[in-house]
Structure 1
Amino acid sequence: MPTKQETLPIPERAQQILRLLIEEYIRSGQPVGSRTLSQMGSISFSSATIRNVMGDLEDMGFLTSPHTSAGRIPTAQGYRFFVDKLVRVSTLDTSEIQRFQANLEANLTPEELLKTASNYLSQMTHMAGIITVPRQNAVIFDHIEFIALSDQRVLVVLITNDREVQNRIIKVDRDFSRAELEYAANYVNREYVGMDLTSVRDKIKTELESARADMHDQMSAVIDMAGHVLMTDDNTEKDAVIVEGQTNLMTFEELSDVELLKKLFDTFNQKRDILHLLENCIAAEGVSIFIGQETGHQIPDECSIVTAPYNSDGNVIGMLGVIGPTRMAYDRIIPIVDVTSKLLGAALNFK
Structure 2
Amino acid sequence: MDDRSRALLKTLIERYIEEGQPIGSRTLSRFSGLDLSAATIRNVMADLEEMGLVTSPHTSAGRIPTPRGYRLFVDTMVTVRPLEEIAAREMEKGLLPDSPQRVLNSAAQILSNLTHFAGVVMTPKRAQVFKHIEFLRLGEGKILLIMVTPEGDVQNRILPTSQDYTPSQLVEAGNYINTQFAGKSFAEVRAHLASDLDNLRSDISGLMALALHSGVSDYGMGQGDMLLSGERRLLNVGDLSTNLDKLRKMFDMLEQKSVLMQLLDVSSHADGIQIFIGGESDLLPYEDLAVISAPYSVDGQIVGTLGVIGPTRMAYDRVIPIVDITSKLLSGALSAPISS
Q: Same fold (TM over 0.5)?
A: yes
State the partner residue of 2:41: 50
State the TM-score, normalized to the length of structure 2.
Answer: 0.75
Q: In structure 1, which of residues 286, 300, 321 is the aligned counterpart of residue 286 of structure 2?
A: 300
Q: How big is the shift at 1:159? A: 5.3
Q: How big is the shift at 1:185? A: 6.0
Q: Structure 1's 158 and 41: CA in aligned 2 closer, same or farther, altered over 3 A?
A: closer
- Alpha-carbon deviations, 1:35-57, whole Å to 9, x = none? 12223374433323222211111
Structure 2 Cα separation of the partners of residues 181 and 30 of structure 1? 72
Contact 1:267 1:298 in 2 (8 A): no
Structure 1 gaps, min length 5: 1-9, 147-156, 171-179, 200-222
Contact 2:276 2:284 in 1 (8 A): no
Where 1:19 maps in the other structure, the secondary structure is helix
5 Å-filtered alignment, 1:161-240, equals: 164=150, 166=152, 188-189=174-175, 194=181, 240=225
Q: How big is the shift at 1:235? A: 9.2
Structure 1 Cα separation of the partners of residues 246 and 217 of structure 2? 35
Structure 2 Cα separation of the partners of residues 165 and 289 of structure 1? 33
Q: Structure 1's 326 and 159: CA in aligned 2 closer, same or farther, altered over 3 A?
A: closer
State the TM-score, normalized to the length of structure 1.
Answer: 0.73
Structure 1 Cα separation of the partners of residues 104 and 281 of structure 2? 23
Q: In structure 2, which of residues 67, 71, 77 is the aligned counterpart of residue 76 of structure 1?
A: 67
State the partner residue of 2:2: 11
Contact 1:141 1:197 in 2 (8 A): no
Q: Structure 1's 249 and 332: CA in aligned 2 closer, same or farther, altered over 3 A?
A: same
Where 1:166 maps in the other structure, the secondary structure is coil
State the partner residue of 2:28: 37
- Alpha-carbon deviations, 1:111-145, whole Å to 9, x = none? 11111111111111111111110113312242559
State the partner residue of 2:264: 278
Structure 1 Cα separation of the partners of residues 293 and 247 of structure 2? 22
Quote the RMSD (CA, aligned, Å).
3.7
Q: How big is the shift at 1:258? A: 1.8
Q: 1:337 corresponds to which letter in structure 2? A: V
Structure 2 Cα separation of the partners of residues 253 and 117 of structure 1? 25
State the partner residue of 1:316: 302
Q: How big is the shift at 1:285? A: 1.0
State the partner residue of 2:107: 117
Matched, 1:139 2:129: yes
State the partner residue of 1:261: 247
Q: Structure 1's 191 and 104: CA in aligned 2 closer, same or farther, altered over 3 A?
A: closer
Q: 2:25 corresponds to which letter in structure 1? A: S
State the partner residue of 1:60: 51
Q: Structure 1's 165 and 185: CA in aligned 2 closer, same or farther, altered over 3 A?
A: farther
Q: How big is the shift at 1:309? A: 0.9
State the partner residue of 2:230: 245
Contact 1:307 1:321 in 2 (8 A): yes
State the partner residue of 1:212: none
Structure 2 Cα separation of the partners of residues 230 and 79 of structure 1? 45
Q: 1:120 corresponds to which letter in structure 2? A: I
Structure 1 Cα separation of the partners of residues 127 and 83 of structure 2? 36
Where 1:139 maps in the other structure, the secondary structure is coil
State the partner residue of 2:329: 343
Structure 2 Cα separation of the partners of residues 126 and 235 of structure 1? 35
Structure 2 Cα separation of the partners of residues 167 and 69 of structure 1? 56
Where 2:152 maps in the other structure, the secondary structure is strand
5 Å-filtered alignment, 1:94-113, equals: 94-105=85-96, 108-113=98-103
Matched, 1:126 2:113: no
Contact 1:197 1:230 in 2 (8 A): no
Deviating 4+ runs (over 3 angstroms): 41-44, 143-146, 157-160, 164-168, 180-193, 195-199, 229-237
Where 2:119 maps in the other structure, the secondary structure is strand
5 Å-filtered alignment, 1:16-31, equals: 16-31=7-22
- Alpha-carbon deviations, 1:81-125, whole Å to 9, x = none? 11111111111112321221122115x211111111111111111
State the partner residue of 1:175: none
Structure 2 gaps, min length 5: 137-145, 157-165, 188-209
Where 1:39 maps in the other structure, the secondary structure is helix
Q: In structure 1, which of residues 90, 97, 107 is the aligned counterpart of residue 81 of structure 2?
A: 90
Name the count of aligned residue pairs. Answer: 300
Contact 2:128 2:219 in 1 (8 A): no
Where 2:264 maps in the other structure, the secondary structure is helix
Q: Among all aligned residue pairs of Structure 1 and Structure 2, give the percentage whose two residues are the same amino acid.
A: 39
Structure 1 Cα separation of the partners of residues 68 and 32 of structure 2? 27
Q: 1:285 corresponds to which letter in structure 2? A: D
